[in-house]
Amino acid sequence: MKVIIPLAGKGTRLRPHTHTVPKPMLKVAGKPVMDYVMEDVARLKGVEQVVYITGHLKEIVEKHARATYAIPGVYVEQKVQDGTAGAVELARAHVDQPVLIIFVDTIFDADLSIVETSTDDGIIWTKEVEDYQRFGVVVTDANGHMTQIVEKPSTPISKRANIGLYYIKNWQLLYEGIAHVLKQPANKGEFYLTDAFQYMIDKGAKIRVVDVEGWYDAGKLDTLLETNRTMLEKGRASIPNRGLKNVEVVDPVRIEDGAIVTDCILGPNVVIGAGSTVTNCTLRDVIIGDRSVLVSCVLTDSMIGDQAHLEGITGSVTLGDHAEVHGLRA
């Protein structure tokens, strides 16, 4: 089996952080989002290669993947952002067997091992949601196979949201479908992978729909902070044995090794990066990067990058790497 991971996007909804860090490498509960996904991939049997579709800050992604993941990888740059079908098409030269396609701006609880015994032409994972109007939703037949994907329906034709996780056993028909899609007029400049799935279904393919137990978005600041909270609650919270003086902790909190925290109230849902120094602060629902300095701040719902310096700040802020701010009230 091959794995395709498209990660060429610029992550505009997470600026300024994505000016210097690729979106899949932003940390949630002290670990890059991409690492959560790759840990699931590493547990699968028979994965021969990962095809990374890179773009924005591609050198950082490649360096991290080569240093961190044991599965052999190849890197293909998506120079033109022409949609999800265009991204997967770029992997075509490397695909000669069933393929798992994962978009890594979310974390999921799913049993990927079902691909090892699946007899269907493919699997699409979904999550039942109440706000179905915000998503592409998957419609199924009585046997649990996909019949269509409807983008942002006004009526509850389905509440099973497409989460960007797919297994395609019939990879030849997939690429036939992609070729068909790329010949059609673009939709606002983009070609959609889901249209290729629809082509497969129209040709008789059986794509099974499977619900995930959990789906945690990290594609914008508010949902990334929510996902940070969830991952802390699921076991990522950790307090070191040293580096803390006169600190009140409201769980869950994660403080990385080398951080120095003095005279603070932390939590819930706070992460302090390695080597950071935090003094006389009250923090709730806050992520702080590595080697940053915070003095006399009262922050909620905030995300601070690496090597930032904040002093006397109150409110909710989002500041990228190397930012320096003094004495504001946000």
| Cross-strand pairs, 190 | 187
pLDDT for 328 equals 61
Overall pTM surpassing 0.85 (yes/no): yes
Q: Domains of the chain, with CATH numbers?
A: 2-221 (3.90.550.10), 237-326 (2.160.10.10)
pLDDT bracket for residue 101 (50, 70, 90) = very high
Name the percent of the chain lying above pLDDT 70. 98
184's tokens: 């059609």
List pLDDT tens digits, range 188-225.
788 889 899 999 999 999 999 999 989 998 888 888 99
Preceding omega of 268 cis (within 30 degrees of 0): yes
Phi-psi region of 199 (alpha: psi -120 to 50; beta: other; left: phi over 0): alpha
- Whole-number pLDDT of residue 329: 57
CA atoms within 13 A on the CB side of 194: 21
Nearest to 1 by CA among 36, 50, 34: 50
Q: Tell me the pLDDT tens digit for each residue of 258-294.
A: 999 999 999 899 999 999 999 999 999 999 999 999 9
Tokens 């949601």 belong to 129
